[in-house]
């Protein structure tokens, strides 16, 4: 087993070689640590080590193998963890100066699930403060850069996770997603991510909320990120289950793919929209994907749509999202927003963040109506292909009022918020969405596709993801990672 082989192995294959004794867990851990130390300087993806615990865990894993004890599916596999997930005995900050020295006494639920399967967390990866941006920059650990172009962001909030995967620093990562925080970094950084159906994966112990919070935020999910679809599937199976409140009596068994032959899935494509225009490079990549699928026997209907507009579902999603994030504002700020929201786009955000509960109930009902429209659509189709964002990775911009930032899409100056128009249809309706790379823009930056499927039918989106990854060649390796 050569060093090059080791850090580009899939999680599944790495678990196999450790479980067969070809490589020890301690050797694998030492290899990944050495690689991070050698290559992470210009990237800044890995921001805090947990080596004492990791080395003890790796030794225990090797002793278990030597003693012939039963091994878990991730036995001895070293991996990094996004710094929003509480990790027992390891500083967990969520990018917030207030938590710069916070050491959790227990693992977040997803971390515990991976650790119980035999994984060895060895470091934490960067993110924006409170996981609240699509760029990964904070006052505690600084800025993470995109491995494909250091002048661009790797995405957020799981940007350090995506960059670490792209660089071969880890075979598997945990992401979280409320407004695209798994999907956007996967798209920007040229890796894979799966946003599970809402409620399928317990996420207690993620920050925010603050440590000790027992509620789970509306819209928010935790899910796997990797470089191989088989790893997304493996990790999802380990993460799915009832939460801490339902565990005494409930169980979850996700159904298999609607068709085990992915080429027989009924696929639609929603590649552009006047409400949120997509740049030509991204549209070209999506159309090329449709042609590749057609060559593999999959017909993609690019005219089919659910019975709602992108504008309609994005509006509902935006209001629900701002309500879900309103806990970051103190009561006085909320009252000030409600009394004087101002004018323009920021006014709409302030109104959403300070809305009355009766207004939230109305939007929740609109959400359920939209979920029903999706449900009806998925009687005729199994998958909807969509952009993740209307362009590839954006340049760094850490100006403090992020919603007042600007960007360019297809050479046109646009509001920063226009970057979010395509994450809402899956987010608002609680749907699973898998992202895999499908090409690059004219600057060589990765472009991913969002594979959206019916609620709780995550295995269907993963089945088509595997076929697309095969057709498109998988994850591109950055020049800095060679």
Q: Show which residues are catalytic.
A: 82, 157, 181
Helix (H, G, I), strand (E, B) or coil at 163: helix
Q: Is 108 exposed, middle or buried (0-12, 13-18, 19+ CB in 10 A)?
A: buried
Q: What are phi and psi of 120, to 5 degrees?
A: -120, 95
Helix (H, G, I), strand (E, B) or coil at 288: helix
Neighbour count for residue 376 (Cβ, 10 Å): 11
Residues 371 and 455: beta-carbon distance below 8 Å: yes
- DSSP character at residue 262: G
d(Cα 460, Cα 240) in Å, to the nearest integer? Answer: 15
Neighbour count for residue 329 (Cβ, 10 Å): 16
Alpha helices in 105-204 (DSSP H): 109-116, 159-166, 183-189
DSSP state letters, 303-355: S---SS-HHHHHHHHHHHHHHHTGGGS-HHHHHHHHH---SSHHHHHHHHHT-
Alpha helices in 328-449 (DSSP H): 331-339, 345-353, 357-377, 424-428
Q: Which tokens is 201 given? A: 């994966």
Give the per-residue SS3 of 83-104: CCECECCECCCCCCHHHCCCCC
CB under 8 Å to 8, separation ≥6 — which residues?
168, 227, 477
**Which candidate, 259, 207, 246, places its Cα nearest to that of 461?**
259
Residues forming beta bridges with residue 124, ordered by sequence position: 48, 81
First to last CA, the chain: 17
């Amino acid at each position: 087993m050569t060093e090059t082989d080791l850090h580009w192995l899939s999680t599944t294959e790495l678990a196999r070689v450790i479980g067969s004794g070809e490589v020890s867990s301690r050797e694998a851990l030492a290899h990944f640590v050495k690689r991070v130390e050698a290559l992470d300087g210009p990237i800044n993806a890995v921001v805090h080590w947990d080596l004492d615990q990791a080395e003890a865990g790796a030794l225990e894993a090797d002793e278990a193998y030597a003693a012939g004890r039963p091994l878990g599916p991730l036995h001895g596999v070293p991996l990094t963890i996004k710094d929003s997930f509480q990790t027992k005995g390891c500083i967990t900050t969520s990018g917030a100066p207030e938590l710069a020295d916070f050491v959790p006494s227990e693992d977040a639920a997803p971390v515990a699930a991976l650790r119980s399967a035999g994984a060895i967390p060895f470091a934490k990866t960067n993110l924006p403060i409170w996981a609240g941006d699509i760029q990964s920059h904070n006052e505690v650990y600084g800025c993470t850069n995109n491995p494909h172009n250091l002048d661009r962001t790797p995405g957020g909030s799981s940007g350090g996770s995506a960059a670490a995967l792209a660089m071969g620093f880890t075979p598997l990562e945990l992401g979280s997603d409320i407004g695209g925080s798994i999907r956007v970094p996967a798209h920007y950084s040229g890796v894979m991510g799966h946003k599970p159906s809402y409620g399928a994966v317990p996420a207690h112990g993620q920050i925010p909320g603050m440590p000790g919070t027992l509620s789970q935020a509306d819209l928010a999910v935790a899910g796997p990120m990797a470089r191989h679809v088989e790893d997304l599937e493996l990790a999802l199976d380990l993460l799915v289950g009832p939460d801490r409140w339902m565990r005494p009596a409930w169980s979850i068994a996700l159904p298999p793919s609607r068709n085990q032959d992915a080429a027989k899935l009924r696929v639609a494509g929603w590649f552009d929209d006047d409400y949120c225009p997509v740049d030509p490079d991204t549209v070209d990549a999506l159309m090329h994907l449709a042609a590749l699928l057609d060559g593999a026997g999959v017909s993609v209907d690019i005219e089919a749509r659910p019975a709602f507009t992108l504008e309609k579902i994005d509006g509902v999603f935006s209001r629900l999202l701002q309500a879900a994030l309103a806990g970051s504002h103190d009561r006085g700020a909320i009252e000030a927003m409600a009394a004087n929201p101002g004018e323009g786009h920021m006014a709409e955000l302030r109104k959403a963040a300070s809305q009355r509960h009766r207004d939230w109930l109305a939007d929740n009902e609109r959400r359920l109506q939209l979920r029903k429209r999706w449900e009806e659509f998925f009687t005729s189709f199994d998958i909807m292909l969509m952009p993740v964002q209307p362009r590839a990775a954006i340049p760094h911009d850490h100006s403090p009022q992020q919603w007042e930032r600007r960007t360019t899409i297809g050479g046109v100056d646009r509001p920063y918020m226009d970057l979010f128009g395509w994450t809402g249809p899956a987010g608002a309706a609680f749907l699973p969405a898998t992202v895999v790379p499908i090409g690059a823009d004219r600057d060589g930056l990765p472009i991913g596709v969002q594979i959206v499927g019916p609620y709780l039918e995550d295995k269907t989106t993963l089945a088509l993801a595997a076929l697309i990854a095969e057709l498109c060649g998988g994850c591109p390796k950055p020049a800095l990672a060679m």
